[in-house]
Amino acid sequence: MMKRMLTAAALAAVLATPAFAAPPMSNTDTSANSSMDKSPNSSMDKGSTNTAAQPGFLQQQDANDWRSSKLVGASVYGPDNSSIGEIDDVLIAQNGQIHAVVVGVGGFLGVGQKDVALPFAALTITRKPDSNAIDKIKVSYTKEQLKDAPTFAFYQATKSQTTGSGATDKLNGMSPKDKLKK
């Protein structure tokens, strides 16, 4: 479940990337910006749903774009065409760029596997002819190099303590657990 939520979040962030990269509109060109007028009577202020006139929205996937749903679970191969592992997750930086992919290396059926984060630029991804599917993902790292690579650790937020969770009774110095024992 968590993997699907992260994949959906990754996909949303990847799709939003071109919106961040859209060139700013100049205020000097009034003919091109007349539909984007910010006056009180403009259609933008009236809740217009005409998204075709608004910059930054994509209407279709480019042939060079990769869907996170196709990346996660895909096998990764080394320079000798041996399977190295599978992509378990996609890390997206705050600027919207794909920062890395997390590849599960080693182990059998997930047991003994370790996660290694590879820069997205290290992947060579090829598409199957006339298809949306990925044909092969290759890296220049060998399985042995990735087994020796540092283990990747996902961010873990620190949990703050709440009052009353383990506090002692101020009157008699007993914890809530001690009170239950009596």
Phi, psi of 73 (to 5 degrees): 95, -10
139 close to 84: Cβ distance less than 8 angstroms: yes
- The two tokens of residue 45 are 């202020």
pLDDT digits (tens, 9 = 90+) for 121-177: 999 999 999 888 899 999 999 989 998 999 999 999 888 766 655 554 444 555 444
Task: Give the integer Cα–Cα distance in Å for 15 and 171.
Answer: 58
pTM value? 0.56
Angle subtended at Cα 8 by Cα 157 and Cα 101, rounded to the nearest 5 degrees: 70
Range of the domain at 101: 61-154
Q: Label the pairing between strands 75-77 and 134-138.
A: parallel
Count of structural domains within the chain: 1
Q: How large is the average pLDDT for residues 105-111?
A: 73
CATH number at residue 128: 2.30.30.240
